[in-house]
A and B are shown apart, each in its own frame.
Chain A
């Protein structure tokens, strides 16, 4: 609903916004954000946050770059190493949260800061500067580009392949949530962990798996960044974690866990993508960008809430 409102708002005023090329344009930021938002939404339904998710996209992108360029490995080896690194970080987050019972907010804030420092420190150590470049000169690049960064002509619009991945991951997450036992565990763990445990849900394993899922999403997005931009800055991804959470919240995830959907998070990302490029399409003063972004988000959340309420009220 919110997504339709935002779309019609921009589409009415800008011809380019609703043209196929324009749509391809704003689907692009929505797609990478959407992949992360879906992962973050699963974790939030399971009752936790991951503040390190944003910087982790930087960590994985830098890992891909450093292993491929500085250690002269095939790009696919580098991508594999980055996956291992991501899963390890996700496991670390999840394990620490379930072990210590500390709020995931605190644990992942610690991871966030550590990764931020590691990203900068290690990048400078290996490259003597703050970026890793030349990823497109590495063997394996052509195939990796095809998988992560190619463009498909659909109705004359060059759609980024990340959009397809986004749809695929959203569908996969929805299926897991609604049709599998693991999906039930996620809802149960996020709803009431103690009660879930009492009925035999392996809450700890579920939580760790969710943190690793989020990390895997960060790996996918980080790899996409590295392959597409061919050079990665050490400050990549910082601050994005809040945007992922906001997208999930717009999509109906509760901050307290136990409720939400992957499709909602994907739509939240869509709203973000449309707003991010809709504003330049309308040629508004860029200084006001964040104000409009915030206003759009509030409107979208309010509209969602109203629709949900009247939908809930109707059958009674």
Chain B
């Protein structure tokens, strides 16, 4: 009898111990903090902003957004809290949670605007300024957000398509790495527009890169007239380069988004260019915008989205950007 009781006590005490540790680290996070995590938001004049994105944990792209938001928080002395969930309903619930905590401002990425509409409108109604980021710029004002910072997926796709056309591509394979992601579909559609037709799509799974490589290789073998592969993710770009070699194809590879592999690929001439949406700005700028609004009622963009891209990284400018990408800011 004694042993189970002791174990039970341990099981109950463990969370309390855990919480003791986390209170400390929370205090560290909020420079000159508001006195631990207990009271939470809005204590004693310190601004607290919540950033709620649809990125899944560990996604390299969203890590840079988070870095941007946190860097801005540090520079401006604002407590920035970053949360994310790829499921639209759970993202909405995270926004509700931020509203309940009565934060001073909310930043939301809008992959699926319809699903977030209610929660964003609730935040606005509660008097909390909202800035939307990434996609969904068209609906931002309608929901009552004070501004939008992002890259329109379609416009970014068009930029990639035009560049591919300049490089002489005629038959482009657009690689979708996440089934059911609307933003990726919009990029391919935009690329088709920019190129003026001649785009086919293929579906791969981002969690199975070797499989993606063989799928791309098989497409290149089946249709030798494909002269360019457009990857929508930097990890896919790396395997697309290998796939072109496997298939003995001369197709050039272009991609969205940067990482170390893409940069060395551009430096080595294996990758023609990368469409960089400079997502660091999508984390940094909204924090600045919210601060300006909260303290001075300023708005940015005048009802139009503030575009962070597309910027093209190619052989000409890649060396300057290489170090920054390693540091997690590009």
Q: Which residues of A contact B26 (CB under 8 A)?
A: 282-284
Give the residue name and chain of the B residue nearest to A119 (CB).
Answer: B180
Closest Cβ–Cβ distance, residue B230 to chain A (whole Å): 18
Residue among B12, B16, B92 with the highest chain A CB neighbour number at 10 A: B12
Give a binary string over A210-247; 1 marks a CB under 8 Å from any B CB, 0 the rest: 00000000000000010011110111100000000000
Check B302 for interface membership: any CB of A closer than 8 A.
no
B side interface size, CB within 8 A: 52
Check A174 for interface membership: any CB of B closer than 8 A.
no
Check A191 for interface membership: any CB of B closer than 8 A.
no
- In whole angstroms, how far apart are the Cα atoms of A234 and B203 in the complex? 14
Check A287 for interface membership: any CB of B closer than 8 A.
yes
Check A106 for interface membership: any CB of B closer than 8 A.
no
- In whole angstroms, how far apart are the Cα atoms of A289 and B90 in the complex? 13
Q: Which of A6-14, A71-79, A80-88, A251-259 contacts B (4 or more CB under 8 A)?
A: A6-14
B112, A29: Cβ atoms under 8 Å? no
User: Secondary structure of the A side of the interface?
Assistant: helix
- In whole angstroms, how far apart are the Cα atoms of A231 and B114 in the complex? 6
Q: Which of B95-103, B167-175, B221-229, B256-264 contacts A (4 or more CB under 8 A)?
A: B95-103
Q: Which residues of A contact B214 (CB under 8 A)?
A: none
Q: Which of A164-172, A175-183, A306-314 contacts B (4 or more CB under 8 A)?
A: A306-314
- In whole angstroms, how far apart are the Cα atoms of A230 and B38 in the complex? 36
Closest Cβ–Cβ distance, residue A154 to chain B (whole Å): 15
B181, A235: Cβ atoms under 8 Å? yes
Check B115 for interface membership: any CB of A closer than 8 A.
yes
Check A70 for interface membership: any CB of B closer than 8 A.
no
Check A130 for interface membership: any CB of B closer than 8 A.
yes
Given contacts A25-B93, A307-B8, contact A9 B16 (CB under 8 A): yes
Closest Cβ–Cβ distance, residue B116 to chain A (whole Å): 9
Q: Which residues of B contact A313 (CB under 8 A)?
A: 1
Check A129 for interface membership: any CB of B closer than 8 A.
yes
Check B32 for interface membership: any CB of A closer than 8 A.
no
Check A276 for interface membership: any CB of B closer than 8 A.
yes
Check A294 for interface membership: any CB of B closer than 8 A.
no
Given contacts A131-B182, A233-B182, A306-B8, contact A15 B100 (CB under 8 A): no
User: Secondary structure of the B side of the interface?
Assistant: helix
- In whole angstroms, how far apart are the Cα atoms of A250 and B210 in the complex? 36
Q: Which residues of B contact A236 (CB under 8 A)?
A: 87, 180
B81, A306: Cβ atoms under 8 Å? no
Closest Cβ–Cβ distance, residue B157 to chain A (whole Å): 14
Closest Cβ–Cβ distance, residue B83 to chain A (whole Å): 5
A229, B89: Cβ atoms under 8 Å? yes
A289, B93: Cβ atoms under 8 Å? no
Given contacts A231-B112, A233-B112, contact A302 B40 (CB under 8 A): no
Closest Cβ–Cβ distance, residue B12 to chain A (whole Å): 6
Q: Which residues of B contact A286 (CB under 8 A)?
A: 57, 82-84
Q: Which residues of B contact A6 (CB under 8 A)?
A: 15
A side interface size, CB within 8 A: 53
Give the residue name and chain of the B residue nearest to A21 (CB).
Answer: B100
B185, A129: Cβ atoms under 8 Å? yes
Partner of A231, one of B40, B97, B115, B179: B115
Check B108 for interface membership: any CB of A closer than 8 A.
no
Task: Please report the number of residue pairs spanning A and B whose Cβ atoms sit closer than 8 angstroms.
Answer: 137
B181, A130: Cβ atoms under 8 Å? yes
Give a binary string over A98-130; 1 marks a CB under 8 Å from any B CB, 0 the rest: 000000000000000000000110010000011
A133, B185: Cβ atoms under 8 Å? no
Q: Which residues of A contact B100 (CB under 8 A)?
A: 16, 19, 21-22, 25
A306, B40: Cβ atoms under 8 Å? no
A14, B40: Cβ atoms under 8 Å? yes
Closest Cβ–Cβ distance, residue B9 to chain A (whole Å): 10
Closest Cβ–Cβ distance, residue A101 to chain B (whole Å): 32
Partner of A130, one of B22, B83, B185: B185
Give a binary string over B20-38; 1 marks a CB under 8 Å from any A CB, 0 the rest: 0011001001000000011
Check B249 for interface membership: any CB of A closer than 8 A.
no
For chain B residues 108-133, which have a beta carbon within 8 Å of chain A? 112-115, 117-118
B7, A306: Cβ atoms under 8 Å? yes
B180, A130: Cβ atoms under 8 Å? yes
Q: Which residues of A contact B7 (CB under 8 A)?
A: 302, 306
Closest Cβ–Cβ distance, residue A5 to chain B (whole Å): 6
Given contacts A299-B14, A299-B15, contact A283 B179 (CB under 8 A): no
30 A-B residue pairs with Cβ-Cβ distance under 8 Å, sorted by A, are: A13-B19, A13-B38, A16-B40, A28-B96, A120-B179, A130-B179, A130-B180, A130-B182, A130-B185, A131-B112, A133-B114, A228-B89, A231-B112, A231-B113, A231-B115, A234-B180, A236-B180, A277-B97, A280-B83, A280-B98, A281-B97, A282-B19, A282-B22, A283-B37, A286-B57, A286-B82, A286-B84, A287-B57, A289-B57, A296-B15
A-B residue pairs, 7 tightest by C-beta: A235-B180, A231-B114, A234-B180, A229-B115, A9-B15, A130-B180, A230-B114
Report which B residues bind A (CB closer than 8 A).
Answer: 1, 4-5, 7-8, 11-12, 14-16, 18-19, 22-23, 26, 29, 37-41, 57-58, 81-84, 87-90, 92-94, 96-98, 100-102, 112-115, 117-118, 178-182, 185
Extra contacts, 11 of them, besides A12-B19, A284-B26 (Cβ < 8 A), are: A9-B16, A13-B38, A130-B179, A229-B115, A230-B114, A280-B97, A281-B40, A281-B101, A283-B37, A286-B82, A290-B57
